[in-house]
Amino acid sequence: MEASWRQVAGGRGRARGRATAAPSPGNGVPFRGAGGGREKGSGGAVHASPGGAASTAGGCPVGPEAPQASVATELMSQQKFEEIKKANQAAAKKLIEEHFSSSSEEEGDEDFEGKQGKIVANTFVTYTTQTDGDIRELERTKQYVNEAFQAGAMTCLICIASVKRNQAVWSCSGCFCIFHMPCIQKWAKDSQFLVSSLTDDDFGKKDYPWPCPKCRFEYKRSETPSRYYCYCGKVEDPPLDPWLVPHSCGQVCEREFKPSCGHKCLLLCHPGPCPPCPKMVTTTCYCKKAKPIPRRCSTKEWSCQLPCGRKLLCGQHKCENPCHAGSCQPCPRVSRQKCVCGKKVAERSCASPLWHCDQVCGKTLPCGNHTCEQVCHVGACGECPRSGKRFCPCQKSKFSLPCTEDVPTCGDSCDKVLECGIHRCSQRCHRGPCETCRQEVEKHCRCGKHTKRMPCHKPYICETKCVKMRDCQKHQCRRKCCPGNCPPCDQNCGRTLGCRNHKCPSVCHRGSCYPCPETVDVKCNCGNAKATVPCGRERTTRPPKCKEICSRPPTCHHTSREKHRCHFGPCPPCHQPCQKVLEKCGHFCPASCHDQALIKQTGRHQPSGPWEQPSEPAFIQTALPCPPCQVPISM
């Protein structure tokens, strides 16, 4: 079959009704065009024009204009060929770039696994030299480094897409989760816009923080990422190096350990948290009784397990707990102690010696007429509260009377402000609380839409329901007589998250929902190898390569299959020797196993004409008889 760019003059549906002719080398008889000369309406017949020049039935010139038409056709064909060539080259280049930048590049290949092992070893070599090869403290960091190589493990939780080697990323300093740079920039901008639009009167003026999509760790507006840095933050736009961890600069990390100890991380630039400090320091125990010994800086605080011996707050006993950090616990002993007034004795914890009973003091006051009414107290009872000058109930007149006499009312108007806060009490000076305000006033309801004349002490709530939108901008307030401070929406969001498996459990809100916090295990066929990916990525993540041997039972007459690794789909065909005993001669069949041979199916439907597309050949699995014995014998 010719290429499409060569089918210029004819072909199905493109040159129907015409045929291109070109002069022959000798006799001037025209060749038939690519349409074959037998297409509908052409016939390939040659006619003479009035001017004497020959032309085909389609009207294409054969005389002096024929070379020009042929040259134009060749130029157009060459132009189409160049266009198709450029398109193919661009597609091939894009395919190569995508394959190189993919995080699943060469996954499962033994050479790649060996290369990955060398990269991880080089990353940890400066740490292991300090710990004499001990890598137990590196497990958490090693997990992050391995995920950088594993297919589908590094996933942006905002767009639920894989993070490739050649893409700009940003890593959270709280949970060390990695996001695409454009995704986290849009997230930060949307979060600040949402908060400022709800709470800021001067829109956009205040510096509101924005949270990490995964751990909710808050960052300032000035900390919004604008440039792509490596993990340790030394190199901007780190180059893509196949012999380094993706997005790493290859230099020593040198970040401060957390909690700070004065030393810096010794690993090469790496994802995830820094491991514990491996330096050796000489330190003593918590209680300072033991001799200083050399220990790892990350575990320099230790206990000698001897009794603490420090005096407790009670001042009587010493701490009996083993050597410990921080302050000693309260004294656990129990003793009989008197209350503050000395009337009751009870068994109480030694840590709280001061306590109050529930009895009234009852001591005689200095006036000699009254007793102290305070409950179990410390110190002197004080003067009689009824001695000295006292005011009448309305606080307008003052009287000097013995403590045995009550202060009389003055007869003036009470004039105290009532509970309504507007009117005053109109009664005479009286004891006890003032009565409720009963004046009728014109009152506005809370929402301010209606007025009504009613008693001052009664609140006026109309029946009008608020139609303002709540902060989610989806549901109305619907409260009766709402004063304008509509409460936050209390309905569930319920929108489907980006994973397409779960719904948002948060209260109804504006803006984008947080990413799905669930994770899913993608397993191999046997379930021994698994990769943990964010929810929603399990449909696009390739299962991890399993190194276990396939355990499926054989489907042929052999007792076991040929050894091959765990896989999805049907097992490969058996290539073991048949070894069945031939019936006629008794020899063993030396051919490959043919219990499930693929045979082309015959007798299928034949196409009724050239307009029907031929169907693909079908193959069926069937058992073939053993071939004839090929062992030579003497005759």
Per the model's pLDDT, the better-predicted residue between 121 and 588 turns out to be 588
- Mean pLDDT rounded to a whole number for the chain: 78
CA distance 454 to 438: 9
337 and 222 within one domain: no
pLDDT in tens, 592-629: 998 888 887 776 666 677 777 777 777 788 888 898 88
pLDDT band at 184 (very low <50, low <70, confident <90, very high): very high
- The kind and range of the H/E element at 198 are helix 181-199
Token pair for residue 254?
């040198």
Three-class DSSP labels, 96-152: HHHHHHCCCCCCCCHHHHHHHHHHHHHHHHHHHCCCCCCCHHHHHHHHHHHHHHCCC
The HSE-up count of residue 139 (CA atoms within 13 Å, CB side) is 2
The residues, ordered by sequence, that sit 6+ positions from 473 with a Cβ below 8 Å of its Cβ are: 510
User: 171 lies in a domain?
Assistant: yes
pLDDT exceeds 70 at position 18: no
Beta bridge partner(s), residue 503: 496
Residue where a domain terminates, one of 275, 301, 331? 275
Confidence (pLDDT) at 379: 82
**What amino acid occupies position 230?**
C
What average pLDDT does range 454-470 have in this prediction?
Answer: 88
Confidence (pLDDT) at 530: 87
322 and 269 within one domain: no
* Contact predicate 19/32, CB 8 Å: yes
Kindly report the backbone phi and psi dihedral angles of residue 437, in degrees, each rounded to the nearest multiple of 5, phi listed first.
Answer: -70, 125
269 and 135 within one domain: yes
Angle between helices 139-149 and 110-128 (to 10 degrees): 150
pLDDT exceeds 60 at position 19: no
Confidence (pLDDT) at 472: 82
pLDDT in tens, 359-370: 888 888 888 888
- The kind and range of the H/E element at 78 are helix 66-101
Q: Which of 176-180, 350-354, 405-409 has the lowest mean pLDDT?
A: 350-354
pLDDT in tens, 264-277: 888 888 888 888 88
259 and 156 within one domain: yes
343 and 267 within one domain: no
pLDDT in tens, 464-519: 998 888 888 888 888 899 888 888 888 888 889 888 888 988 888 887 888 888 88
151 and 268 within one domain: yes
Confidence (pLDDT) at 170: 92
The pTM assigned to this predicted structure is: 0.49
CA distance 345 to 353: 11
Per the model's pLDDT, the better-predicted residue between 575 and 204 turns out to be 575
Which residue bears the tokens 């995704």? 183
* Contact predicate 9/37, CB 8 Å: no
Confidence (pLDDT) at 181: 92
Per the model's pLDDT, the better-predicted residue between 49 and 389 turns out to be 389
- The kind and range of the H/E element at 84 are helix 66-101
Burial 370-409 (b: 16+ CB within 10 A, else e): eebeeebeeeebeebebeeebebbbeebeeeeebeeebee
pLDDT band at 58 (very low <50, low <70, confident <90, very high): very low
CA distance 398 to 407: 9
Per the model's pLDDT, the better-predicted residue between 206 and 57 turns out to be 206
**Counting Cβ atoms within 10 Å, is residue 62 exposed (0-12), middle (13-18) or buried (19+)?**
buried
Confidence (pLDDT) at 96: 64
User: 188 lies in a domain?
Assistant: yes
Pairing mode, strands 398-400 and 293-296: unpaired
Burial 273-312 (b: 16+ CB within 10 A, else e): bbbbbbbebeeebbbeebeeeeebbbebeeebeeebeeeb
Per the model's pLDDT, the better-predicted residue between 459 and 26 turns out to be 459
Confidence (pLDDT) at 25: 38
Q: Which of 89-93, 161-165, 199-203 has the lowest mean pLDDT?
A: 199-203
Torsion sign (Cα): 288, 290, 292, 298: negative
Which residue bears the tokens 């499409």? 4
User: 170 lies in a domain?
Assistant: yes
User: 235 lies in a domain?
Assistant: yes
pLDDT exceeds 50 at position 562: yes
CA distance 218 to 192: 11
Confidence (pLDDT) at 50: 38
325 and 252 within one domain: no
pLDDT exceeds 60 at position 65: no
pLDDT exceeds 70 at position 101: no
The residues, ordered by sequence, that sit 6+ positions from 54 with a Cβ below 8 Å of its Cβ are: 28, 30, 46, 47, 48, 62, 63
CA distance 152 to 150: 6
In the chain, the percentage of residues whose pLDDT exceeds 90 is 3
Cα–Cα distances (Å) from 569 to 5, 6, 242, in that order, read 41, 42, 32
Confidence (pLDDT) at 156: 86
244 and 150 within one domain: yes
Residue where a domain terminates, one of 301, 334, 349? 349
316 and 185 within one domain: no
Closest to 165 measured CA to CA, from 183, 151, 184:
151
Confidence (pLDDT) at 132: 57
316 and 262 within one domain: no
Residue where a domain terminates, one of 349, 373, 402? 349
The residues, ordered by sequence, that sit 6+ positions from 347 with a Cβ below 8 Å of its Cβ are: 334, 335, 336, 337
* Contact predicate 539/499, CB 8 Å: no
* Contact predicate 594/629, CB 8 Å: no
Look at the chain and report how many structural domains it folds into.
2
In the chain, the percentage of residues whose pLDDT exceeds 70 is 79
Beta bridge partner(s), residue 496: 503
Closest to 324 measured CA to CA, from 286, 291, 292:
286
User: 267 lies in a domain?
Assistant: yes
pLDDT in tens, 212-241: 988 888 898 888 998 999 988 889 999 888
Which residue bears the tokens 């009337």? 343
User: 252 lies in a domain?
Assistant: yes
Confidence (pLDDT) at 51: 37
Q: Domain range spanning residue 342? A: 310-349
User: 189 lies in a domain?
Assistant: yes
CB atoms within 10 A of CB 238: 21
Confidence (pLDDT) at 228: 92
213 and 332 within one domain: no
pLDDT exceeds 60 at position 397: yes
Q: Could you tell me how far CA 82 lies from the centroid of its own chain?
A: 46
pLDDT band at 183 (very low <50, low <70, confident <90, very high): very high
320 and 249 within one domain: no
Residue 93 DSSP symbol = H
- The kind and range of the H/E element at 156 are strand 155-156
CA distance 314 to 378: 19
Q: Which of 63-72, 132-141, 258-267, 382-391 has the lowest mean pLDDT?
A: 132-141
User: 233 lies in a domain?
Assistant: yes
Confidence (pLDDT) at 201: 52
The distance between the two most distant Cα atoms of the chain, rounded to a whole number of Å, is 155
- The kind and range of the H/E element at 520 are strand 519-523
CA distance 151 to 143: 14
Q: Which of 311-315, 354-358, 533-537 has the lowest mean pLDDT?
A: 311-315
- In terms of phi and psi (left: phi > 0; alpha: psi -120 to 50; beta: otherwise), the region of 388 is left
What average pLDDT does range 550-570 have in this prediction?
Answer: 89
